[in-house]
Amino acid sequence: MIRNTNAILGNSELMVTLGKRGEILGFFYPRRDYAQHVEESMMCIYSDEFTESTDSDSNSDRLLWMNSSRWEYVQKYTSDSYNVATRLKHDNGLEVSILDSVHPLMPALTRKFRISSKHDFDGKLFYYSSLNAGDMSKQNTCYCDNEEYIVVQYWQDYHLGLTSLPEFQSWQVSKIFGSSWWANPKYDMEDGALQNNREDIGKPGFALGWDMHIKKHEPFEVTIFMGASNNKSSLYRKMREIRSQSIERISEQVQENCVKWLSRKKPLDIFEKDDLDLNISLLEIYNRSLLTLKLLNEPSHGSFIASPEFDPAFEMCGGYGFCWNRDAAEIASALLNSGYPEYTGKFFRWCVKTQLPDGSWFQRYWTDGRHGPSWSNFNSTTQIDETGSTLHAIGKYYETLEGIDRIDFIEQMWVTVLRGAEYLIKRTRNGLHDACMDLWETHVGTFTYTNASIFAGLIQAARIADDYDQKELAGRWKEHAYNLKEQILNDLWTDEGYFARGIMHDRLDYTVDASILGTVTPFDLLSPHDPEERNKIYSLINTIENRLKIEVNDHYGIKRYEDDQYINGNPWIVTTLWLSKTMLMLSHALQKEGDFDQSRQFRSRAISLIQWSVKGTTDTGLLPEQVDKDHGNPAWAIPLGWSCALMVDNIILLDEIYRN
């Protein structure tokens, strides 16, 4: 089942994804990628009033689920934090506010519900959950301890617990199958009474109930606590402890921790500018992007998932809850540039452990370094750019180090760099790289983007080799890199003024593909400071704008390539911010050379693309992978780490331009 995320929150052990109306979509513990323990977890209200308004005798119509489209919703983060506030409003006069917070120190979610009515209201409140402890939809055990007022579900070492304040008054635990009340707790709620069955096994679910009497403007409040642990006794201790703490203080601590972490970010002057032609808050999107990248990081290993998993059965894609070196290198670099180098260093130590014997890196990994599900298992379907991207990012990080840190890093990384560079040499023995899969994981051939990544990886490897007194290797790698650059320019630059996507089936593929911008950023094959290469960049920009733009949300975004069929061929945030970053690099170079008019033109065009990207965020400010070309809504993977990284890069570069 596809799960459309609207907000994420978490701590070092727990990551939670929420839908627009506060329903839990994902509950990831103890890692960002595994295990995901929730199938459904949400609140509903029972009342005879609901059937009176519809003239229905159906019991199901007496239940009003809070994820129903009949509720108007507003969902926001509370300032720059991971606390999520959701407000629901129904035309029957009911209103619900939900404050979700993950405890700063324990893998536990607190959910404070406040239900009010414009008139006196009598009914029942139910909280229903269908859990898959250990990501298993079978062989689970679930029981209700009505002396401790806690429901526990477990499979092997994965234990989940749910308790509440005030204590729940009724409960039902049973298997989930069929549509009869005795066979499914979801249907047991339909008559307003639960059967108080205490335990079951297999594929169980449970419901908890409270009598609810609301006087006009006197709300009913209940707080749900949902936690995880690796054993039962530890789970009980944690749930007792969190239930004893102040909910307000927990959310305050979350806020304080986020503010403290953000205070370390690179200070930017641009946030103080009043003369910017912007109708968006750069500070808001900058902070939210950084906080998102922090949550996508796996603290125990140093890797990054591309996005919280939302298609676990791979129904419409191959899934996103894995670590791709390509995406992670962009994320690690953005965190480095914004003032968080510790994430970058830890990621590269993870890369040392995950490098394959031949010097390359696999398509994608679980966050602990094991190979993820892959469709790149053969030489001709590997993704060579993952290795080029990794070496390039390692080199960029190395350039920022000084003194003993620089010496220690090169000692730790030298063998990794050596093996990676020799792998790239081997794959480009005859000039352009031999057959592999492209970065979009769709085509097999020889590609401009991949060749540019190899060039960049070898250049950085050569600089490290030179510092490590491996002069002969440094010279050989550098020479090979520049020979490759010459061949890219000779064989892949077209008479029409852009790089071909690549060579497929022994023919030049003239498809315009946004990934050709990789020759400018991040791989620096073309420099905006070189007049001849700058003209090529102008031509690339014009070609991509003319042939890949899709107008929506009062401007345009950039799709991946011509005739893209993936998810409706939508424009992507990544490709749009790729183009804006290229424009900003040109603006910066022109500014340094004194061509202020043209610099301002490119800056203005880039800002329009940044504004368009911000318009495509969720209500909570999360950057998606795509924007729906028909409706302008955020689409597909939400949030996407690569989108956040490029937003951070764009804002930092824009700040550099304004500083001058």
Pairing assessment for the beta strands 108-117 and 158-165 based on DSSP bridges: unpaired
What are the Cα distances from residue 640, in Å, to 81, 304, 359, 466, 644?
Answer: 18, 11, 28, 36, 7
Which secondary structure element, helix H or strand E, spans residue 401, and what is its range? none
The first and second tokens of residue 327, run together, are 């995406």
When the pLDDT of each residue in the chain is averaged and rounded to a whole number, the result is 95
pLDDT at 327 over 60: yes
DSSP state of 179: S
Residue (of 431, 423, 503, 499) closest to 457 by Cα position:
423
Q: What integer is the mean pLDDT of 633-659? A: 96
The model's pTM is 0.96
Chain position carrying tokens 């009010």? 116
pLDDT, tens digit, 9 for 90 and up, residues 609-626: 999 999 999 999 999 999
pLDDT, tens digit, 9 for 90 and up, residues 292-306: 999 999 999 999 999
For the chain, domains (ranges, CATH) are 7-242 (2.70.98.10), 277-659 (1.50.10.10)
Q: Is 643 exposed, middle or buried (0-12, 13-18, 19+ CB in 10 A)?
A: buried
C-alpha–C-alpha distance, residues 36 and 322, integer Å: 13
pLDDT, tens digit, 9 for 90 and up, residues 365-401: 999 999 999 999 999 999 999 999 999 999 999 999 9
Which secondary structure element, helix H or strand E, spans residue 8, and what is its range? strand 7-10
Kindly indicate the confidence band of residue 272, based on its pLDDT and cuts at 50, 70 and 90: confident
Q: What integer is the mean pLDDT of 520-525? A: 98
pLDDT, tens digit, 9 for 90 and up, residues 477-501: 999 999 999 999 999 999 999 999 9
Q: What integer is the mean pLDDT of 557-562? A: 98
Please tell me which residue, 444 or 183, carries the higher pLDDT value: 444
C-alpha–C-alpha distance, residues 514 and 520, integer Å: 11
pLDDT at 54 over 50: no
Give residue 212's pLDDT. Answer: 96
C-alpha–C-alpha distance, residues 209 and 378, integer Å: 54
Q: What integer is the mean pLDDT of 64-70? A: 95
pLDDT at 183 over 80: no
Please tell me which residue, 431 or 59, carries the higher pLDDT value: 431
pLDDT, tens digit, 9 for 90 and up, residues 530-559: 999 999 999 999 999 999 999 999 999 999
